[in-house]
Amino acid sequence: MSLLALGLFATVQASEQGFVLQAGGDWVPLPMPMDVARGSALDWAPRRPEPCGSRGWLIVNREGKFAFEKTPDREERFYGANLCFSAMFLEKPEAQRLARRLASMGYNTVRLHHYDGELTNDVDPRDSTKISAEKIDRLDYLVGQFKRQGLYVAIDLFTIRRIRPGEVLSGDTGMDEYKALLLVSEKARENWFRFAKNLLEHKNPYTGLAWKDDPTIAWICVVNENNFGSAARSLSPEAKRLFDEAYRADGNTGEWQWGTQEGALWAARKHVDAYRWMRDRLRSIGVRALLTDNNGWYNQQALLLNRRQLDFVDDHFYWDHPRFLGDSWGLPSQGWQVGRSAIPEEGGGLRTMGLTRYAGKPFVCTELNFTAPNAHRIEGGLLGGAIAARQAWDGVWRFAWSHNAENVRRPQPINYFDVQADPLQQASERALVALFLKRHLSPAPAEAVVRLDPVEHAHWVYASPIVEQVFTRRYSTSADAGVEGTVPPSGTPAPVTVDRAKGTLTVASPQTCGVVGPHGNRLSAGPLEAELRGTFAALWASSLTGKPLAETDRALLVYATDVQNTEMRYRAPDRLVLEAWGKVPHLARRGSALVRLAVREPEKAEVYRLDMAGRRQAKLPTRVAGGRLEFEVRIAEDSPTFYYELVRR
């Protein structure tokens, strides 16, 4: 995310008073292995990875979906995570382990984000486009490892590269200011292209290909999070003068203001021109990757003018993103959703974000997170997976796997975003991979195209009541005529149900069934019944054989509650204002659930408690009641785990 700074991981001083979490009572120390056991129920890596490029370049096929050149009629879907900062610049053995670790999560893609600063900031004090030979060698090796594992790569061509004084403005150029200036400054564009050319034309010695010629690099966003309404909020007087001059040069009067009808329409047309300039420059040097733009924040309807010319559309979403009560990216902090669950709002902005999808084009979300320390964030796997699957999106990337190399090397305390440091988020990923990437949940059966007017209502934000049907009807938008689809009648129960009043969610697909909700709820999802006890929790089961859950011989069952850090400090017991991150070991919230599964020949089924690496630890007591397999799962001192495996004798 463009706001992220290295200060995220700095220690801070907090008040003497507050609410401090320790082991004991409701909290159980949780082991944190760095890798899963090979061949275990948690090892979702393909046995024989297909190296990237084996089926040619990624393209957009006639149906507006991702496909490969050699198999254009086979729709492809992608799920993975972001890497940021030093997490991408590893020693070679670390890079090998990381690539295998990501593959074991079931991922088939990685987004390299916030890499451009690491590559350039310490190279030349006058030229921000020169690339460090040492850093690019490390990144090249990592990309080579991803290629071997079949992990396709998405990149941005500008995120946080520090622009030197005199390159664009006479003094310093801020990050968001630079993004905005690409709309009006030839100097900014030429600077952007010099860096892009240096990066994409250099040859990776570990693949034998220049980045521009490597199908591993499948997606390029020209500029990260550069929508005019967000990028132009902090213009210096010199930059503001350039905007006002460009605005008047196009026949307007007065100053440019992004929030007005005239200002929004003008800026969107500048986005159209800037993207075409960047696209044409990239294509002129032989870049074949799919290109996009405008992936985050302040989505005004004028942006449809640019989105309709992109190869694919991208956007970003966070639930309970941190809001800083003092210094930016320092503590204390509080989430924007104040620790709430997203279920009563059916995902909130995740539904509305889907309106940025343009009809006939692939749609991806390259930054998605239900952020820590929200106590309900385990819901993100089933909820996010259900929305992405029902809407038939084409790619999703969790933000993020890691922001630093230390997370990759050894267990670290949870932070706002990183899956590597958060065992709860790692559990949540299993639901997203199953429902969305493995297609355990089918798309909604009907689609509506919503017409949004980018000219008459240029400054309006994307909005439509269609989002209330996020689980029953797919939707996209268009700047041209839209036709509202109708939901075909169906005699089968809806696969996703939400009870907003109770705060519960159920997902019932043939191969993955799950429930989420507060303590005391008895919930059913297909063959799965569960009684949640003790605390808010998510519980789901996924077939590991490709067969329906009720017929499978092997399944993974996940029961997870909340994870915090030892000595994590909040301002009060409500845990809404965070004052200190604490340390490892992680602490899992105690809880339990009674599970009933309707499976074939339940008397022949066995359930094993796994450790956090997926190794079998003990066989659970089970019984058959009413034709269902019945057993209890729990988080306690003698069973600190989220994972269980069902097998048939």
Please, which residues have CB within 8 angstroms of residue 429's CB and are 6 or more apart in sequence? Answer: 81, 105, 106, 381, 398, 419
Same domain flag for 431 and 519: no
Same domain flag for 290 and 351: yes
Same domain flag for 528 and 420: no
Q: What is the pLDDT of residues 515-560, one digit of tens each?
A: 999 999 999 999 999 999 999 999 999 999 999 999 999 999 999 9
Same domain flag for 514 and 376: no
Same domain flag for 107 and 248: yes
pLDDT band at 494 (very low <50, low <70, confident <90, very high): confident
Distance CA 381, CA 226 (A): 28
Distance CA 345, CA 435 (A): 20
Pick from 402, 369, 413: which is nearest to 98 by CA?
A: 402
Q: Show the domain range for 545.
A: 496-648
Distance CA 441, CA 504 (A): 18
> 134 in a domain, yes or no?
yes
> 118 in a domain, yes or no?
yes
Give the per-residue pLDDT at 231: 87
- Across the range 436-463, mean pLDDT stands at 95
| CA angle centred on 78, ends 504 and 525, rounded to 5° | 25
> 252 in a domain, yes or no?
yes
Enter the pTM of the model: 0.96
Q: What is the pLDDT of residues 345-362, one digit of tens each?
A: 999 999 999 999 999 999
> 72 in a domain, yes or no?
no
Same domain flag for 501 and 443: no
> 40 in a domain, yes or no?
no
Boundary of a domain, candidates 423, 448, 473:
448
CA 308 vs CA 275, 391, 476: distances in Å: 12, 19, 12
Boundary of a domain, candidates 411, 426, 448:
448
- Across the range 386-399, mean pLDDT stands at 98
- CATH number (domain holding residue 601): 2.60.220
Same domain flag for 529 and 434: no
CA 284 vs CA 66, 197, 216, 281, 411: distances in Å: 23, 10, 20, 5, 45
Same domain flag for 346 and 245: yes
Same domain flag for 212 and 309: yes
CB 597 within 8 A of CB 527: yes
CB 631 within 8 A of CB 606: no
Mean pLDDT taken over the chain: 95
Please, which residues have CB within 8 angstroms of residue 296's CB and are 6 or more apart in sequence? Answer: 2, 224, 225, 227, 230, 315, 316, 367
Number of domains in the chain: 2
> 26 in a domain, yes or no?
no
Compute the CA torsion angle 265, 271, 273, 279 (nearest 10 deg): -160
Give the per-residue pLDDT at 480: 87
Phi and psi for 363 in degrees, rounded to 5? -130, 135
Give the per-residue pLDDT at 12: 34
CA 526 vs CA 220, 493, 503, 511, 604: distances in Å: 40, 10, 19, 10, 20
Strand pairing class (395-402; 78-84): parallel
- Judged against a pLDDT cut of 70, whether residue 307 lies above it is answered with yes
Peptide bond into 373 cis (omega under 30): yes
Distance CA 475, CA 214 (A): 33
Phi and psi for 607 in degrees, rounded to 5? -125, 125
> 37 in a domain, yes or no?
no
Give the per-residue pLDDT at 14: 39
Strand pairing class (554-560; 537-543): antiparallel
Same domain flag for 350 and 416: yes
Residue 267 class from Cβ within 10 Å (0-12 exposed, 13-18 middle, 19+ buried)?
buried
CB 599 within 8 A of CB 626: no
> 144 in a domain, yes or no?
yes
Boundary of a domain, candidates 448, 467, 482:
448
- Judged against a pLDDT cut of 60, whether residue 5 lies above it is answered with no
Integer Rg of the chain from CA: 24
Q: Look-up: residue for tokens 């040492």?
A: 134
Give the per-residue pLDDT at 4: 40
Same domain flag for 266 and 162: yes
Same domain flag for 442 and 531: no
DSSP assignment, residue 436? I
- CATH number (domain holding residue 350): 3.20.20.80
pLDDT band at 492 (very low <50, low <70, confident <90, very high): low
Q: What is the pLDDT of residues 237-279, one digit of tens each?
A: 999 999 999 999 999 999 999 999 999 999 999 999 999 999 9
